[in-house]
Structure 1
Amino acid sequence: MHTENRLKPNQSLAIRNKKKSTNKCKSFFRYLRDKKVLFFMLIPGLAVMLVNSYMPMFGIVLAFKNLDNYGNIFGGKWIWFDNFKYLFGSSQAYYITRNTLLYNIVFILIGSTIAVILAIALSEILNRKLAKFYQSVFFLPYFLSWVVVSYLVFSILSSDMGALNNLLKSLGLEPINWYVSPKFWPGILISVNTWKWTGYDCVIYLAAIVGIDKSYYEAAAVDGASRFQQIRKVTIPMLVPLVIILTLMKIGRIFYTDMGLFYTVPRNMGILYKATSTIDTYVYRALSQTGDLGMAAAAGFYQAVLGFILVMTFNTIVRRIDKESALF
């Protein structure tokens, strides 16, 4: 009789589990050895992520300390939630959170909708050279820096020589001083962001459309479906998983905003703060103008926590609706 058969059931189970664990460990090291070139290629990316994403996490302690500009990150006096009390006790906490959230929701809805429509339209152009030309035109704004974009916007909105005010004058209307009128800036920022980023998203969706199996369209055509019906019944359903994934990724950064858009384009005009200030611009101004590291860190921590909660919430909702479309 084998030794394992003479052991108690619990001992036998423990031995089998130990053997399985040993085999898994050996399999892992064998896989590591076989794929060593790929793992070596992974090292630079991991190093960048470690330096840029994980090491700065130690700075979270600043949100709970009273620290001057010359203090050590692990020094200073612990004041715990005083920075948060000051942040939420001011009127700024409300409107920077409101602006950050609402702007990003509108950016996601409008940007995704227009990008999908443009991608479908480009895929329907039979002349490939013309389609490539339009694709390049839509994609070009993505390569422009926000400094260049800010000067383009200024050339349009300038109170003296701006193209838009010249047009208003030619129509017999009064010119508008755009840079001291907060009520116009939500529309301006949404338009500028859509113009700059839609081409990038459009290319992603267009690549997905090109990858759809042509047999689906052939089968739909055989069944008598028109071109519009093929788009509605084949193209759009095939794009839905990609739209969900990209939307979830954007939701992950829904409490982060582009500094170039909200700081450079409005030219940091104080009178526009209630319409253009977000959590990111608030943190930057807290550091550059007041030097308050604790307050800036508290705002950044608040931003990260809200973003994490939203990602987990929406990913859970998507998993319950369609498990295959969830991020994890």
Structure 2
Amino acid sequence: MKVVGGFFRDIIKNKVLLLMVLPGALWFLFFSYMPMFGTIIAFKQYRFSRDGFWASIVNSKWVGWDNFKFLFSTDDAYIITRNTLLYNVAFIIIGLILSVLMAVVLSEIANKRLAKVYQTGMFLPYFLSWVIVGYFAFSFLSSERGLLNQVFQSLGWESMQWYNDPKVWPYILILVYLWKAVGYNSVVYLAAIMGIDKSLYEAAMIDGASKFQQIRNITIPLLTPIITIMTLLAVGKIFYADFGLFYQVPRDSGTLYSVTNVIDTYVYRGLKTTGEIGMSTAAGLYQSVVGFVLVMTSNYIVRKFDKDSALF
């Protein structure tokens, strides 16, 4: 009884903080934990009936690992796995470098009002949907009226058929992703920089340290824990691809599938063609399990070198 009484006293004492956490907790409950019961669909040939969702799951035929074979039994399995991994590795590495660099630059701007203007301008692309970004990209890359082709023509160069040339799209997709995401990701590192004790910089200035030396010996080392944590979280989603980026920006061009087709778009096209919900569930489960293993492995490696920088 004392334990129960203490539990309720803690709830009453921290009710304001618990209310602040409640929306996020409900989000995870409804969209992360409750859907776990539906993972059984990955092992069934799901067919929806009028009896309802749960009855459909119970009555659907058990097919075991057949849904997973869809991802690995075709010639596209290597391509979609390669694209998903390599793009995400590029996003993690280049995005991390640019996000930290942008945060450092913003923190060094003396005029804070001007810094806010720059930060808002770089933050804004994150809130644009991929549909809008796709049309922005099309306005630059259109073979007929695209801005880049108009510039090429004015210089006497030949126009390019951007949406028929797979060679340039790895660079385009990485550039578009960085333009959209880096400003948002830099906020975390900027907040960490703002929390660094200013007396450390003052002491370094007294010792004659240059601005670059201060960044190298104070800012970067103190950012290392948050950099490690953010990288570990990103590694957990390395088998997930941003569907909007790889579907909307290339405009679902079939000639670009060799460099734009990833697991998410492949599953979507397969689901649209065959209507197999079990197949898409199997892909999601596969991505989640691999992401979990990667996070646990990466965290174990980090703990071996620096326990304070690990997630847990």
Normalization by structure 1: what TM-score?
0.88
Structure 2 CA distance, aligned partners of 1:210 and 1:65?
A: 51
Q: CA RMSD for the aligned pairs?
A: 1.9
The answer for unaligned runs of 5 or more in structure 1 is: 1-21
Post-superposition offset of 1:41: 4.7
Which SS does the other structure have where 2:250 is aligned? Answer: coil
Letter of the 1:279 counterpart: I
**Paired position in structure 2 for 1:268:** 252
Post-superposition offset of 1:40: 4.7
2:40 to 61, 66, 71: 61
Structure 2 CA distance, aligned partners of 1:59 and 1:29?
A: 33
Which one has a bigger Cα radius of gyration?
Answer: 1
Identity value in percent: 57
**Paired position in structure 2 for 1:299:** 283
Structure 2 CA distance, aligned partners of 1:36 and 1:130?
A: 39
| Cα contact 1:69–1:293 (8 A) shared by 2 | no
Structure 1 CA distance, aligned partners of 2:188 and 2:23?
A: 26
2:25 to 46, 59, 64: 46
Which SS does the other structure have where 2:56 is aligned? Answer: coil
1:75 to 59, 62, 81: 59
1:214 to 193, 198, 201: 198
**Paired position in structure 2 for 1:124:** 108
Residue 90 (structure 1) aligned with residue 71 (structure 2): no
**Paired position in structure 2 for 1:239:** 223
Residue 257 (structure 1) aligned with residue 241 (structure 2): yes
| Distance change (3 Å), C-alpha of 1:253 and 1:172 | same
Structure 2 CA distance, aligned partners of 1:90 and 1:157?
A: 32
| Distance change (3 Å), C-alpha of 1:69 and 1:201 | same
Structure 2 CA distance, aligned partners of 1:263 and 1:165?
A: 23
Post-superposition offset of 1:24: 5.4
Post-superposition offset of 1:159: 0.3
**Paired position in structure 2 for 1:162:** 146
Comparing 83-92 with 230-239, which one deviates more in the overlay?
A: 83-92
| Cα contact 1:279–1:300 (8 A) shared by 2 | no
| Cα contact 1:61–1:74 (8 A) shared by 2 | no
Residue 34 (structure 1) aligned with residue 18 (structure 2): no
Structure 2 CA distance, aligned partners of 1:212 and 1:62?
A: 49
Post-superposition offset of 1:278: 1.4
**Paired position in structure 1 for 2:232:** 248
| Cα contact 1:286–1:293 (8 A) shared by 2 | no
| Cα contact 1:319–1:325 (8 A) shared by 2 | yes
Structure 2 CA distance, aligned partners of 1:240 and 1:229?
A: 16
1:308 to 289, 292, 295: 292
Structure 1, residues 227-263: CA drift from partner, whole Å, max 9, x if none?
Answer: 1111111111111111111111111211112111111
2:119 to 99, 119, 135: 135
Letter of the 1:186 counterpart: P
Structure 1 CA distance, aligned partners of 2:121 and 2:15?
A: 42
Structure 1, residues 293-322: CA drift from partner, whole Å, max 9, x if none?
Answer: 222222222111111111111111111111
